[in-house]
Chains A and B, each alone.
Chain A
Amino acid sequence: MAKPKPRLSVPKNAKKGEIITIKTLISHKMESGQRKDKKTGKKIPRKIINKFVAKYNGEVVFQSDWHPAISANPYISFKTLATESGTMEFSWTDDDGQVYSKSAKIAVTQ
């Protein structure tokens, strides 16, 4: 696959103070660097997403550093508190420096 595509599941609406579940998925090979090329016998170089950051109206609510043990097409789900309406931004940083990002709007009512 050429360009990893992220998918998000962010609730469109929430009540203030409600705990919401965010689900994220990105299609990425997550090449660990341990696998060998069947033909040449050489190790396939590591190429993984090494950082995932979730921001809610600019404030980081969840972030994690990833290592080769995370398997392909990583799925991350976490819970956070719905405080105010706005945008949630998610970014995935690849070993090669590329950053894949996607955002979703959330409307929070009283």
Chain B
Amino acid sequence: MRKKLVGGILTLGILFGAGGVAMSDHVKGYDTYTTKDGRHSGYVYAAKETQAIQDDDLGNPAYLWLDYGEELWSKVEGEAGKSCASCHKDAATSMKTAGASYPKFDKASGKPINIEQRINKCRTENMKAKAFKYESRELLSSTIYVRNQSRGLPMSVKVDGDMKPFFEKGKAFYEKRRGLLDMACKHCHQDNAGNMIRANLLSEGMSNGFPTYRLKWQKPGSLHRRFRGCNKQVRATPFGYGSDEYTNLEVYLGWRARGIKVEAPAVRN
């Protein structure tokens, strides 16, 4: 136990160099991205050039996916002969709060459901169409289009009542050490947000901007893709896209980001 503790501290000591970045210096509208109790969106940790890309709707490459998502919204698919628009009409109205309140509890399956899963549920059950694959152009575009309707709204995922057990599971996952590097999510994103890990500045790991266009990926990616990347980085076996573990984690992250405004599709490094 003692050996493990010392080993753990040494690893953390080597990995985390104190960064101390004055984020408020170059972020215009800093207050927009920070809650009253001092929690920040990932926007604040990005370089100002990266922020500039996100701020410009034309310059943000993820908007190409958003435009495709808008097209898909009205596309009739499946044996039922419907499109999203057939039932949900104008997305700006019907999807207004979806991006800020998902994941939600799904009575049919008895567990939380996120936007990607909800889209596929509608497709398979109501449209009698094929589900979209995770990280496919279709699913990313549709998710971005839906979530973008809530842009500017503060995140408000419900975590009590039916959601409580899943929130607790997500919280446990967040705090559990894993992988060869024996690290938990909180070691980077809670204990060391604002510090450097090798050459990267650590954010608070907020989910308000997902699906996000990551400069590293050169395309938008889902939150679960990021989770898989994070797990691989500590040399842990990643869980599957849309898995219960990641969906529960998404619930917990939704709570962590409460009050932070939805920025989907955000641009990060």
Q: Which residues of A contact B (CB under 8 A)?
A: 1-3, 5, 7-9, 23-25, 27, 73
Contact = CB atoms under 8 A, between A and B. Distances in A.
B59 A23 contact: yes
A9 B68 contact: no
B71 A1 contact: yes
A24 B57 CA distance: 11
Nearest to B71: A2
19 contacts: A1-B67, A1-B68, A1-B71, A2-B71, A2-B75, A3-B71, A5-B67, A5-B71, A7-B57, A7-B58, A7-B67, A8-B58, A9-B56, A9-B58, A9-B59, A23-B58, A25-B58, A25-B64, A27-B67
B63 interface: yes
A8 B71 CA distance: 18
Nearest to B63: A7
A2 B70 CA distance: 11
Q: Name which of A7, A23, A73 has the most chain B CB atoms within 10 A of its CB.
A: A7
B58 to A, nearest CB: 4
A23 B59 CA distance: 9
Interface of B: 56-59, 63-64, 67-68, 70-71, 75
Contacts of A5: 67, 70-71
Contacts of B56: 9
B84 to A, nearest CB: 15
Contacts of B59: 9, 23
B58 A73 contact: no
A24 B58 CA distance: 8
A73 B70 CA distance: 17
Nearest to A5: B67
Given A7-B58, A27-B64, 7 more contacts: A1-B67, A5-B71, A9-B59, A23-B59, A24-B58, A27-B68, A73-B64
Contacts of B75: 2
A2 B68 CA distance: 9
* Residue among B63, B64, B68 having the largest count of chain A Cβ atoms under 10 Å: B64
Which one of A3, A25, A73 has the greatest number of beta carbons of chain B within 10 Å?
A25
Contacts of B70: 5
Contacts of A2: 71, 75
Nearest to B64: A27
A8 B63 CA distance: 12
A16 B212 CA distance: 39
A43 B24 CA distance: 53
A24 B70 CA distance: 19
A8 B57 CA distance: 9
A17 B71 CA distance: 39
5 closest Cβ contacts across the A-B interface? Answer: A9-B58, A5-B67, A7-B58, A27-B64, A23-B58
A3 B70 CA distance: 11
A27 to B, nearest CB: 5
A25 B53 CA distance: 14
Contacts of A1: 67-68, 71
A24 B56 CA distance: 12
A78 to B, nearest CB: 14
Contacts of A27: 64, 67-68
A9 to B, nearest CB: 4
